[in-house]
Each structure stands twice: as structure tokens, then as C-alpha cells.
Amino acid sequence: MTAPTLVQSAAVAAPPTTGARPSRRRRRGSTAGLVLRTAVAAIAAAVVFFPLYWMLVVAFSPRGEAFEPGLRLWPSALTLDNFARAFERYPVGEWFVNSVVIGAFITVVTVTLNLMAGYAFARIAFPGRNVLFLVALATLMIPVQAIMVAQFRVVTGLQIYGTYWSVILPGAATAFGIFLARQFILAIPQELVEAARIDGAGHVRVFLRIVLPLSRPLIAVLTLLTLLGSWNDFAWPLIALKDNALFTLPIGLLYMKGQTTPDYSGIMALALLSVLPMVVLFLVFQRYFVQGFARSGIR
Amino acid sequence: MTAVPLRRPSSRGGRRPARSRDALAGYGFLAPNLLLMAVFLFVPIAWAIQLSFQETRGFGTPEWVGFDNYARMAADPVFWQSLGNTVLFTAVTVPLELLGGLGLAVLLNSVLPARGVFRTIIVLPLVISGVASGMIAVILFYESNGLINKLLAAVGLSPIGWQSDGASAMVSVMVAAVWLRIGFNMMIYVAGLQSVSPDLYEAARIDGATAFQQFRSVTVPLVGPSTFFLLIMNVIASFQVFDLIFVMTGGGPGYSTSVLGTYAYRNGFQIREQGYGAALGVVILVVTLVFTYVQWRTSRTRDLVE
């Protein structure tokens, strides 16, 4: 990180040029520049938002309207038929419940275990700590496609294939939160822990009484990211869930697309329902999401 | 940041019981996590390697076949096509994500009305699932009367065979992937830019640097650590692409959008060549570990920088 100081000293060493003229030119230029930049930003945002807008349009348009000839960028009439039809023909309510139950279990288990592991790696000295931490880190990026055949056999061997557990347990076997938790807990002043230890508190008590109450932002970030990950997870639930009634929303969407004449209007209605909870969470807790993404690099 | 502050006992004598109690507590805190990871990560990794040396179709006893699966891979044109597609997909999407992300970050780091709204919208796809994104893309790119083809017709261009033509199908999944990831790149770059002192730009301006020169000589070098971090993350994500392609094209038409992830799934679960599927998985695993190692080396320097 020597670059900034180098640039700075070079800039400082340079003789000051005439002040007034360039700065006035800059100010006049900056009004036009501001308009231009705002326009470009608005276009970029519109382009990024357009697919989501189109999902809304198709979900609320009469069935099949989007695939009729003739260019039409908004619905001819607003309707909830697509939602009603999806609920009528498919166990959409059950899929929703499955996503919520599986997401809740994975989140509670994962966040609890990751906090405990993060504390151990940050604050307890034990032999093999660094090796174990590196092993955990090394597993961070392994995609399920690399091990799905064997993982499928483990799940069938444990006789949990086709149950909630076949998604929950492998889903909770992740190290991504450990890394964040360790970093955060390391930043908690050592004196606080030390003082409690001198008073005779064991690690369990320090963890519960001192570290956890100070870790609320960490817990928020871990909860949101874990929930998001499990809500959107696709490849593994696709393998582990065989029974239509146990599908999560992404698997349900794929199932709808797999019909002989896929009902794309109904699919968009369900897609909208499936993304809505995460979009709302994101808008409310944007700060935590951004922090979490930026620090963990997940996604 | 890398040095783990191991608490050394202040005096050597009389600390043994405390130390072994610490060790016990350490393993106790880790045990549930390690147990889950052992059962659902380490055992499958070892088993995948074993299966990759066996022939099995999901029924009966697997048979040891040595390196047959790997030899078959070397001679399998679909494997090479899938690998090529994966590399092509990565080589096209990653630079677009980096450049687009940096461009948007510079734009949305400058003074703008409603800057926060623009940023939020561009980051929004981050929370949209790959499956929902894929479904939206299916509808937009639908060959007969999909919106994109209708827009092309409206400006006098001929419609494109997004599902029937291999190259066009590849373009459609690349577009969807960039859409899904560009916000993440912008977000990391915005964080990187915020640590750049405004004085540097002021100094460059005083030196008479144009906006482009400022960008090239101040911005680009100073977001170097962010770029490296994003490069590795994007490469890993692109190399592992699965959801989007599975939903949008299923690897087709033919094998023209088949990538390593979808081809491994096809062998493992669609045509039940599980030994071969496991061998393909091992290839993905090795590549991932190499990238992870590089990322780990660089994140150490990134941590030091911060």
C-alpha cells in the first residue's frame, strides 16, 4: 500500500498551476457533466431493473399475453389469475412453507455453530487451531457439483434422503460464517474477556455473557446471508428432494417449467412471490447485506 | 490481521491444567461444526475421489477400474467441449463484470442526485435466486415472440435463435450471468473507492490531468486490491456456474452451453454414470482448490493492506 503516498508526494512536489481558470472551466463543465452522469446512471439502473419489471408485467398480465405477437411493454389489464392458477395447480403453499422451514432450520443451526467456532478460533488457544482454521477455509468455495454424487450416497446411507434433513444438515455444514465470526470476535477488546476470565468465568460463560451480547451486528449479518443462501439454494435441494410436496420454491419453479406446456405466466407469478421476501429483507437491512457481502465475498 | 494472537501463558509454571482445559473448551466449541463438516464435506470428498476410480451406475457393487474414468474423460469430446465452454464463459463474463462494476462504481461514487437509489437498484439482483433470474431470462430470450426478439424486430433486425443456435444460447446465459453479478462488483469497487483520498484527485487536477487520465493513473491503481479480490471471486463463481445454465438451456442446444457443473450433474443424476460423474466432480474440486489457494494468498495481502 505504498502507492497513495507515492502519488501524493509526486503531486505535492509538482508546482502549483494557475488556479482560477481551470476551476471555473471545471464548474461550468460540471453542470453538463452532472446531467450526463445522472442520465447514464439512470439508464444503467433502468437496464438492470428491467428484467425485474418484466417479471412483474408477465405476472400481472393475462395469461400468455407476453408471448403474443406485437410489442407491448405493459399489461393490457391487471390480473391475479396467474397467482390463483399457480396456487390451484401446484402445492405452492407447501413449497413456501418448505422454503421457510428449511431456511429457518439451516439459519439457526448454521449461525449458532459458526458463532461457536468463530469464538474458538478467535479466543481459545488449543493445539491444531491454525490447521483446523485453514482446513475450514479451504472448504469455503467447494461447490456441491464437485461432490454431489458422493454426498447423495452419504444422505441415502444415513436414510435421510427425501426428507427435510437431507437439505438442512448438508446446508448447515458450511464454514463461511466461521470466517466472519472469527474476524468480528477478534475485534472485541481482549480486556473484557480477560477480566471475566480472571473473575473465574469459563469459556461458555464468556461466550454467552460477553461475546454474544456484543455480537449483534455480526449475528444480523450471518442470519441474513445464511437465510438468503438457503432460500436461493438450488443444486443440492434439486438432488435431495424427490417428493413434490417437499420441494422448496426454486425446485418448484423448475418443476413448473418441466411440464409439457409450461405456464410461464404462472411461473413468473411464483418467481415474484419467491424473490419478494429477500428483496424486502434487502431493502430493510441493506447495510448488513452490503457489509456481509463485502467481507465474505460470498456470491 | 493474519497473525492469530495466541495467548501465551505469562508464566510457564502451573499453567498445564488451564491449558488442557482450554484445549477441551476449544474442541468442544468446534465439535458440532466439525462433525457436520466431516459427515457432509470431508467424507463426500474422500468418497468422491474413491468413486472416481470406480464404475457404478447407482445399483449393485461398484467395480474398481483404476484410471478408466479419467482416461475416458481425456477421450470424451463432450468433456472437452464443456471445459471449453466453461473457460469461454469465464473469459467473457469476468472482464465484463469487472469493467462494468468499476465503471458503475466510479459513476455512483461521484456526486449525483438519488445516488443511493441507483446503487440499491444495481445491487438488487444480488438477492435474486439463480433460478428466478434464469426463469426471467428464459422469458426475455424466448425465441418465438419473446420480448428481446420483438424489440429486435421493432428496430428492423431479424430475430435471434436464442434456443436453437448454440452461440446465441451461450450469449444469453452470459448476459444473464453478468446481470446477476455486476452489482456485487460495483459494491466492492465502491467500498474500495471510498478509501481513496479526494486529495489525490485534487492534486491530479491541479497537475492538469483530464478525467480519463485521473481514472487511469489514480483510480485504477488504487482499486488494485479490490480488482484482484473480485477477479478471483468472479473466476470461481463463473467456473462453478450451474443454476442459470441448468434453468435456461439445460446445457443445450446439443452440448453448446454444457459446462463442467451441468455435465457432472448429467452424468451423476440424469444418465447415472456415477463413477464418471464423480471423476468430473474431482476435476471441479481440484480447480476450485487451486483458485481458493490463490485467493487465500491474496486475501492475506488484502488484510494487511486494510
pLDDT for B32 equals: 93
pLDDT for B301 equals: 52
Q: Kindly tell me if the per-residue pLDDT of B2 is higher than 80.
A: no
Tell whether B3 is covered by a domain: no
Same domain, B124 and B164: yes
Residue B78 C-alpha, separation from nearest chain A C-alpha, in angstroms:
17
pLDDT for A15 equals: 36
Tell whether B119 is covered by a domain: yes
Confidence of residue A27 (pLDDT cuts 50, 70, 90): low
Per residue in B176-210, pLDDT (tens digit) is: 999 999 999 999 999 888 877 788 888 888 888 88
Evaluate the CA torsion angle B106, B108, B109, B113 in order and state its sign. Answer: positive
| Contact criterion met (CB < 8 Å) for B37 and A136 | yes
Same domain, B46 and B80: no
Which domains are present in chain A?
A: 30-79 (no CATH), 92-296 (1.10.3720.10)
Confidence of residue B59 (pLDDT cuts 50, 70, 90): low
Tell whether B6 is covered by a domain: no
| Chain A interface includes B26 (CB < 8 A) | yes
Residue B288 C-alpha, separation from nearest chain A C-alpha, in angstroms:
6
* Helix/strand/coil for B54: strand
Per residue in A165-199, pLDDT (tens digit) is: 999 999 888 888 898 899 889 988 888 888 888 88
Measured CA angle at A112 (ends A111, A116), to 5 deg: 115
Chain A: residue nearest B129 by CA? A232
B117 φψ region: left (φ > 0), alpha (ψ -120 to 50), beta (else): alpha
Point out the domain boundary residue: B37, B64, B91: B64
The strand pairing partners of B54, in sequence order, are: B64
| Chain A interface includes B266 (CB < 8 A) | no
| Chain A interface includes B206 (CB < 8 A) | yes
Same domain, B225 and B264: yes
| Contact criterion met (CB < 8 Å) for A140 and B123 | no
pLDDT for A4 equals: 32
Of the residues A147, A233, A295, the best mutation for testing chain B's interface (the one with the most B CB atoms within 10 Å of its CB) is A147
d(CA B276, CA B278): 5
Residues 6+ apart with CB under 8 A from A61: A75, A76, A77, A78, A79, A82, A265
Element (H, E) at B64: strand B63-64
Same domain, B253 and B292: yes
Tell whether B245 is covered by a domain: yes
pLDDT for A249 equals: 96
Same domain, B153 and B230: yes
Tell whether B69 is covered by a domain: no
Tell whether B98 is covered by a domain: yes
Tell whether B35 is covered by a domain: yes
* Helix/strand/coil for B63: strand
Same domain, B146 and B279: yes
- Out of B44, B144, B243, closest to residue A151 by CB: B44
pLDDT for A60 equals: 95
Same domain, B56 and B147: no
**Residue A217 dihedral angles phi and psi, to the nearest 5°:** -60, -40
Q: Kindly tell me if the per-residue pLDDT of A20 is higher than 60.
A: no
Same domain, B35 and B128: no
Same domain, B57 and B81: no
Tell whether B199 is covered by a domain: yes
* Helix/strand/coil for B279: helix
Chain B: residue nearest A20 by CA? B206
pLDDT for B273 equals: 85
* Window A:255-284, CB contacts with B under 8 Å: 257, 264, 267-268, 271, 274-275, 278-279, 281-283
| Chain B interface includes A6 (CB < 8 A) | no
Work out the percent of chain A whose per-residue pLDDT is above 70: 89
Residue B99 C-alpha, separation from nearest chain A C-alpha, in angstroms:
14
ipTM: 0.86
Chain A: residue nearest B125 by CA? A48
pLDDT for B28 equals: 92
* Window B:73-102, CB contacts with A under 8 Å: none
The strand pairing partners of B64, in sequence order, are: B54
CA dist A193 → A116, A184, A204, A294 (Å):
15, 14, 12, 28
Chain B: residue nearest A225 by CA? B127
The CATH code of the domain that includes B108 is 1.10.3720.10
End-to-end CA distance of chain B: 9
Evaluate the CA torsion angle A118, A120, A123, A127 in order and state its sign. Answer: negative
Overall number of domains in chain B:
2
Q: In terms of pLDDT, which residue wins out, A111 or B112?
A: A111
Same domain, B213 and B292: yes
Residue A127 C-alpha, separation from nearest chain B C-alpha, in angstroms:
7
Question: How does the average pLDDT of chain A come out, rounded?
Answer: 85
Q: Kindly tell me if the per-residue pLDDT of A296 is higher than 80.
A: no
pLDDT for A264 equals: 93
- Out of B29, B41, B296, closest to residue A124 by CB: B29
Q: Which of A15-29, A95-109, B148-162, B286-300 has the lowest mean pLDDT?
A: A15-29
Looking at this protein, which amino acid is placed at residue A15? P
Confidence of residue B14 (pLDDT cuts 50, 70, 90): very low
* Window A:102-141, CB contacts with B under 8 Å: 113-114, 116-117, 119-121, 124-127, 129-130, 132-133, 136-141
| Contact criterion met (CB < 8 Å) for B4 and A129 | yes
Same domain, B228 and B300: yes
Range of the domain at B36: 18-64
Mean pLDDT of B130-143: 95
B117 within 8 A of B226, measured Cβ to Cβ: no
Residue tagged 476449544 (cell numbers) = B26
A242 CB neighbours in chain B (<8 A) are none
pLDDT for A104 equals: 96
Per residue in A201-229, pLDDT (tens digit) is: 888 888 998 899 999 989 999 999 999 99
* Helix/strand/coil for B55: strand
3-state secondary structure labels for all residues of chain A: CCHHHHHHHHHHHCCCCCCHHHHHHHHHHHHHHHHHHHHHHHHHHHHHHHHHHHHHHHHHCCCCHHHCCCCCCCCCCCCCHHHHHHHHHCCHHHHHHHHHHHHHHHHHHHHHHHHHHHHHHHHCCCCCHHHHHHHHHHCCCCCHHHHHHHHHHHHHHCCCCCCHHHHHHHHHCCCHHHHHHHHHHHCCCHHHHHHHHHCCCCHHHHHHHHHHHHCHHHHHHHHHHHHHHHHHCCHHHHHHCCCHHHCCHHHHHHHHHCCCCCCHHHHHHHHHHHHHHHHHHHHHCHHHHHHHHHHHCCC
| Contact criterion met (CB < 8 Å) for B285 and A67 | no
| Chain B interface includes A248 (CB < 8 A) | no
Q: What is the DSSP letter of B145?
A: T
Per residue in B204-250, pLDDT (tens digit) is: 888 888 888 888 888 888 888 888 888 888 998 899 999 999 999 99
Same domain, B24 and B150: no
The C-alpha cell of B53 is what?
476410480
| Contact criterion met (CB < 8 Å) for A136 and B107 | no
Q: Kindly tell me if the per-residue pLDDT of B5 is higher than 60.
A: no
Q: Kindly tell me if the per-residue pLDDT of A13 is higher than 50.
A: no
